[in-house]
Structures are given as C-alpha cells and as structure tokens.
Structure 1
Amino acid sequence: MIRTLLILLVLMTPSLLEAAEKKVPQQALSSAVDYLWSQQHADGSWRSEQYAVLRSGQALTPFVLHTLLESSDSLSSDEAEKALRAVRLIVSHLDDEGALGRSDPDILEYPVYSTAYAVMAIARMQRLGYEASTEEKAELNRHLIKMGQFLRNAQFDEASGFHVGMPTYGGWGFDKAKQAGEPGHMDLAHTRRAIDAVFRSLGLPYTNDGSSARGDKACRFLAVMQKHPETFSLQPVPEGVTRPTEIPFDGGFYFSPVVLAANKGRFDDNANCWRSYATATCDGILALLAAGVPKDDERVTAAVEWLKKHTNIDYPQGVPTDHPEPWGEAIEFYHYAARAEVYRSLSFPAEDRAALAATVLKHQREDGSFMNTVSPLMKEDEPLLATALAVVALINCLP
C-alpha cells in the first residue's frame, strides 16, 4: 500500500501540484465572497455601521456589487436576484443628473466615485446576464446612459470653466465643479474610476460632441500627475517653496495637484517635487490603460519600471515611513488591490501574483473577512471595505 502511494506521488504531474497549491487562495477567495454576500441588507445595500459617510450604502453598495460581479463568470439565480436588488437600491438614490451619492445634502457619498462604480457594476451585470422584465431592463439602460452623461459632464474641461493651463484640466474630482474653474477635492483615484466607467464600461465618446480623440483630455491630466517634462510647469509646489525649473521624470505618479496634503508621498525637498508612490503609480498605470494608451507606450512602460523597482508588497513604497500619520499602513488593502490589478493587466509573472496573494491571505479572519487593524485613516478598519479590496486583489492574483 505504501509502495503504491509513493509511486502515485512520483507520478503526479506539475500541473496537479500547481492545482493543489492554488486551492488555498481559491478557497480564501470563495470565503471572502461568501462573507460579502452575507452582509447584504434586505433592501439590497451594503452599508457601514461605523462611518457616517458610508452609512446610506450609496458608496459601498456599487463598490461591493462590482467586486462580487467581477469575482465570477456567471451568477446563480440567487446571486442574480441579490445583484438586481442592489441595482434597484442604487437606482432609487440617483438624482436628476444621474449622480449617485447625493441623497443626503449634509453627507455626500463620493458622487463621482459611487456613480462610476455603479456604471461598472451594472454594465458587468448586463454582460453576465440577469432575469428581469423587458421594461425594467430598458429603464435600467436609460439610467446607465444618464449616469454616463453625469460622469462626462463632471470632467474638468472647457464646459466647466477649465483650460489646458490648469493642472486639474481633464481630470475628475469628488463631484462636478460647483463653480467654473473650481474643482474642489480632486485626485488621481477619482479620475481613474471615471475613465474606467466612461471609456471601458460604456464606450461613450470622449467629449459631448464626440470630436476629440479618445482619452486626450484625461491623458493631459495624467501627464501632470506623472510629473512629465511637458507638464512640469503645471505641477504644484507647497506654499513658500520656489517652483523648480525642471522636475525629474521617474515614471511614477503622485495623487493630487489640488489637495496637496493628500499626497501620501509628501514633498521631496531634495528633488523639488512630489514623491511618486506605489498606490498612485498603480492608479496611474490603470488610468492610462483605461484611457486607451497602449501597453508599450513610454508613459506606461516608465510607470511599470518604477513599480518594478519598488516591489515591497507589505508597504507602498514612496510613502515615508517616518511621517507622524501612518499613511502607508492606512492604505494596506488598497495597495494590495491596485498592485494586483496592474499585475493582471500587464501579465506580470505568476510568481509575483502568487506572492501578493499569499500576503493578502495572511490577513483573512475566520469568517472570511479582512480588516486593517493598524490604522483607520483610510477607513480600512471597516470590514466591508477591506474585504472588498482583498477580493479585488485575490481575483487579479489567481489564474
């Protein structure tokens, strides 16, 4: 009997051994997905019990739904019904402009971010297929088009008082501009999601009249965030700092040209520029790809080279480790998710993805959930948010 078992072990093919190794992360992913489905409320929402800005479900619901829909190539009848319930909840919160996240005038739930994920989730559900009446499907499609129109109108361009001499031109922010030429909070992360929703999920023309090449305006903004030589004159400096005559182009990205304190890499006094850091660089790569920039374009390859030089999975390099606020620890799961999406999009080696998956798995709790136990600065101590980010990471790490 023992001899037979030994022979069988010797005869096991590499593919069988690989399958055995992959079983654990696949089981972990299934457990995390089950946890997220179990947390859906009867009205179809996912909402936070600890953060007021996430309590209505307008922001968490589309993000969690999109994550769950991306985790599978098909839906069971039960999952399809749950997904449709979430979509109905989303639609019930849309305003006249097609924006999500504005139901409570006192607490805005990231209108651009929420609407972008709603678009991506609904478009994904349509591709997977779902049971509903012809009338409801037609109505949902009308909402989808309206949400896309809101996102297009929310881009900072000439129609909202912005011009190419502004660092914010071509990007997106927290919401549409409240005053002509005044962006409010705006950053690379919001821009990336809007590009993804408008270009990839909907394939809408880039401008309202369809006359501009796809992604031109967005790429102008991304060039500012990548510290490109052609746009260094538009890149901001802290108050009291003399604007440099040249900024080194390292291929990496920073986060915001407006909310300077949100740049977690902080300002590099020696180089006279904002430091590139891992999560922003991942977002930059993904935004470029979503805007239609080829994978072999110099902007993409330069950013990838930066990432290959900064391979620490446990900490988003570029973020100082000695800052009074632990920003690096606060974006732990966001870092896993964004890095994994880049690894998948650009076909990084399987061993890199396996190493990232193994790092994520160390944090899984018994109920399948994840939670950032080090810092609440980015709300990753909310299990719904952290678990959804972990699922994104695992989806993109597995074959």
Structure 2
Amino acid sequence: MLLRAVTVFVVVAASRFLPAAELGPDLDELQQSRQQGIEFLRLSQNEDGGWTAPRMVGITGVCTVALLDSGLSADDETVARALSYLKSYRQKDGGIYHPDSSHRNYETCLSVLAFEKANADGLYSKMIEGAENFLRGLQWDEGEGIESTDSDYGGAGYGGHKRPDLSNTQFFLEALKAAGVKEDDPAMQKALIFVSRTQNLESQHNTTANASKIDDGGFFYTAAGEGETKAGTTDNGGLRSYGSMTYAGLKSMIYAGLSKDDPRVSAALEWIKNHYTLNENPNMGKQGLFYYYQTFAKTLEVLEVDRLEDASGVKHDWRKDLAEKLFDLQKPNGSWVNEADRWYEGDPNIVTGYALLALNRCRAK
C-alpha cells in the first residue's frame, strides 16, 4: 500500500504548507537538465544498442529504463535499439542476462522494468512472465534447502548464489511489482523477512545477532551469514546503517505491504529524519552517491511525501533540493559522473541513467 498519511515526526503534507505549484524545482530548468541527460545517452549509445560494453546488460538496463521513464516511447530510435539489445540476451531459463554474467538477478530485474514500461501493446508480456519465473527461482528459500529462520531466507543476490543482499532484493521486489505481483504474494512476503533482518532494529521480525548492537532503525547491506555493511562497524561489532540501503529497505517494506504504523517503517523514517542530506550518501560519503539519489527519490515518491522534516525541525522540499543538487553536478555535455568510482559510478552512462531516474521524480504532482 502507498503511504498517504503523515508520521508525527517526519512527514508533513504539502497541502498544509505549499500549494503543489510551489513545490519542486523550476520546471524549465528541470526540463532542460533532463533533455541534456537524454541527449547525452543518445550520443553515447553503442552501435549494438547497448551502453558502455557489450556484456554490460545491467548498465544498458538502467539507461533504457531511464529513457522510458523520461517519457520516450518504445518506438523512439534510441529506445528501440536498446530494447532489441536487451531482448537479444533473453535466455532459455527466462532470465535476461549475459551468459557469462554473475549479475543475473540485477540484469534481469532491470530488463523487466524496461520491458514493462515498453509493454503498452502487450508485446513483451510473455517475456516479462518468463523473467518473473526466473527471478522467483533465484530467491533464497526452501528451494535452496533453507528454513525461514536462516539469515539468507527470502533474499535475492546477484544470481551466482554467493549470498543474498538488500540491494539486489530491492531490485527483485521492484521488478516483481512491475510485473504485477501483489504484495501478499509469497515471494514478496519471503523477501520482507529478509529485508526486516537487514534493519538495525531488534523486534519479533529481527532476532539476529546484529539486531540490537546499534538499533537505530537504519539498514545495512545484508544479514546473510554474519552480516555485512559497506559503512564499517562499531566497537561492539554493530553493522552501521547507511543512506542508500535505508531508503532501499524502506521502499521494499512498502512494496511488501507494510503501513506507516508498522514499527519498522516508523524506525526507518526516524533514521531518515536524522540523516537528511543530499551532499553525500549518509555514512558512505560520495560512494554510491547517484544510486542513493535514485533510491531516495523513488522511496519518497512511493511514500507520497512532499516535505521532509530533518533532525533540526527544518522542513525540506526534497524534490527542489534533489533537482538543484543534480543541476549543479551535471557536466557541460549533459552527463553526470561520480568522482568516487565505486560500483561503476565512474561510468557516465549508468550515472546519467541514475540521475534521470531521480530527476523524473522531482516534479510535484
């Protein structure tokens, strides 16, 4: 369910402060920035329809989704070539990935998002159904011989079965939702079990060894095994929460049907309140910054939040804040790139895709 109401400590309905017309960035500047990003991706597309390199199906997925999300049609020449590229990687098992890839979940999820946006006439319905079935088979559950008490249970990993993580699980849930899977579906509810265990919050839903070491309501990378975070540990071995995973965890919980009254959601919103910033990926500095921006924007859109109150009581028009930050960071050629080259963010193609996905949510509705 979408969250329409207000949590007493974080969310304030826009209607009580500003009319919709006064929310968000300058629309002309927004449109100009988006168009420049679109034109950069048009020019940087490879002859085969992909971006960056032939085996980078995931990067092409991000760029294709971003262009479709920006309003381009499936018939647009750039988009049509990209869809043809993605379609060429459809495998017999229903997945959409490079045959030598270890990122099969990630690549298939992004392809599902692209084909769903291009599926107005039902042309890709069968492909989406096959990909959905493939993704279900990747989820860590009884099929891997594990019980619901196992810390791996319900999660999705890259697809090589190393271990599940919250980043892949959020894309897994987003793809299933795009494919029409309901929130009470077993796959969604199993994923919720995994997501709940990646939150620094001790509860009946999280009794793992890491649950009470920090207990700040934020999220970390994975609860699998002994757990892992990309943000470092505390003196007592706690796994520090960080921004991109906290927004990913919160969005995933909403997709799985949690309401604003659930303590897990309330705790995550409190963490967001205490760490509101667009200058960095909280607790990660510049690492994963643009991934953070697009996850931040998607989550607040799902929550239907217009203004977000920070720890000092300042109420932020997040759309305006985010858009203006991205305007400042955009390169003269229309692209974006992260100086902290981790998780492919030194590549202007994927980063421009992330930036467009964020900007597309910066216009108040």
Range class of TM-score, shorter chain: 0.7 to 0.9
Task: Decide whether aligned partners of structure 1 residues 109 and 307 sit closer, same or farther in structure 2, where only a CA change above 3 A counts.
Answer: same
Residue 19 of structure 1, CA deviation: 9.5
CA distance in structure 2 between the partners assigned to 1:218 and 1:307 by the alignment: 22
Pick one of 211, 222, 228 that aligns with 2:201: 228
1:112 has 2:111 as partner: no
Number of the residue aligned with 1:88: 84
Q: In the alignment, residue 123 of structure 1 is paired with which amino acid? A: E
1:376 has 2:341 as partner: yes
Q: In the alignment, residue 35 of structure 1 is paired with which amino acid? A: F
Contact 1:117 1:197 in 2 (8 A): yes
1:141-162, Cα deviation, whole Å (9 max, x unpaired)? 3222111101001000001222
CA distance in structure 1 between the partners assigned to 2:327 and 2:52 by the alignment: 24
Number of the residue aligned with 2:134: 150
Task: Decide whether aligned partners of structure 1 residues 101 and 18 sit closer, same or farther in structure 2, where only a CA change above 3 A counts.
Answer: closer
Number of the residue aligned with 2:51: 46
CA distance in structure 2 between the partners assigned to 1:15 and 1:58 by the alignment: 38
Pick one of 299, 306, 310 that aligns with 1:348: 306
* Corresponding residue SS for 1:380: coil
Number of the residue aligned with 2:175: 197
Q: In the alignment, residue 196 of structure 1 is paired with which amino acid? A: E
CA distance in structure 2 between the partners assigned to 1:18 and 1:289 by the alignment: 24
Task: Decide whether aligned partners of structure 1 residues 20 and 168 sit closer, same or farther in structure 2, where only a CA change above 3 A counts.
Answer: closer
CA distance in structure 2 between the partners assigned to 1:302 and 1:20 by the alignment: 29
Number of the residue aligned with 1:4: none
Contact 2:24 2:318 in 1 (8 A): no
Contact 1:171 1:218 in 2 (8 A): yes
Number of the residue aligned with 2:73: 75
> What are the ranges of 5 or more consecutive residues in structure 2 without an aligned counterpart?
1-18, 308-315
Number of the residue aligned with 2:352: 387
CA distance in structure 1 between the partners assigned to 2:137 and 2:66 by the alignment: 26
Name the structure where helix makes up a greater proportion of residues: 1
1:305 has 2:289 as partner: no
Question: Per chain length, whose mean CA-contact separation is higher, i.e. which structure has more relative contact order (CA < 8 Å, sep 6+)?
Answer: 2
Number of the residue aligned with 1:324: none
Pick one of 230, 237, 249 that aligns with 2:215: 249
Q: In the alignment, residue 306 of structure 2 is paired with which amino acid? A: F
Residue 286 of structure 1, CA deviation: 1.3
Q: In the alignment, residue 66 of structure 1 is paired with which amino acid? A: V
Number of the residue aligned with 2:166: 188
CA distance in structure 1 between the partners assigned to 2:24 and 2:230 by the alignment: 39
Task: Decide whether aligned partners of structure 1 residues 169 and 62 sit closer, same or farther in structure 2, where only a CA change above 3 A counts.
Answer: same
Residue 231 of structure 1, CA deviation: 4.8
1:398 has 2:363 as partner: yes
Contact 2:24 2:317 in 1 (8 A): no
For the aligned residues, what is the CA RMSD?
A: 2.7
1:31 has 2:36 as partner: yes
Q: In the alignment, residue 113 of structure 2 is paired with which amino acid? A: M
Number of the residue aligned with 2:333: 367
Number of the residue aligned with 2:117: 124
Residue 398 of structure 1, CA deviation: 2.3
Number of the residue aligned with 2:155: 171
- TM-score with structure 1 length normalisation? 0.77
**When the two structures are aligned, how many residues end up with a matched partner?**
336
Number of the residue aligned with 1:239: none
Contact 2:102 2:160 in 1 (8 A): no
Task: Decide whether aligned partners of structure 1 residues 252 and 145 sit closer, same or farther in structure 2, where only a CA change above 3 A counts.
Answer: same
Residue 37 of structure 1, CA deviation: 2.3
Runs of 4+ that moved beyond 4 A: 14-20, 259-262
* Corresponding residue SS for 2:351: helix
Contact 1:153 1:176 in 2 (8 A): no
Task: Using the TM superposition, name which of 18-27 and 307-316 deviates more.
Answer: 18-27
1:90-126, Cα deviation, whole Å (9 max, x unpaired)? 122122212233423xxx1511011001111101111
Percentage identity across paired residues of the two chains? 26
Residue 235 of structure 1, CA deviation: 4.3
Number of the residue aligned with 1:215: 188
Computing the radius of gyration from Cα coordinates, the structure with the larger value is: 1
- TM-score with structure 2 length normalisation? 0.83
Task: Decide whether aligned partners of structure 1 residues 261 and 387 sit closer, same or farther in structure 2, where only a CA change above 3 A counts.
Answer: farther
Contact 1:112 1:151 in 2 (8 A): yes
CA distance in structure 1 between the partners assigned to 2:223 and 2:180 by the alignment: 27
Contact 1:69 1:125 in 2 (8 A): yes
1:275 has 2:240 as partner: yes
Task: Decide whether aligned partners of structure 1 residues 235 and 170 sit closer, same or farther in structure 2, where only a CA change above 3 A counts.
Answer: farther
* Corresponding residue SS for 1:313: coil
Task: Decide whether aligned partners of structure 1 residues 123 and 304 sit closer, same or farther in structure 2, where only a CA change above 3 A counts.
Answer: same
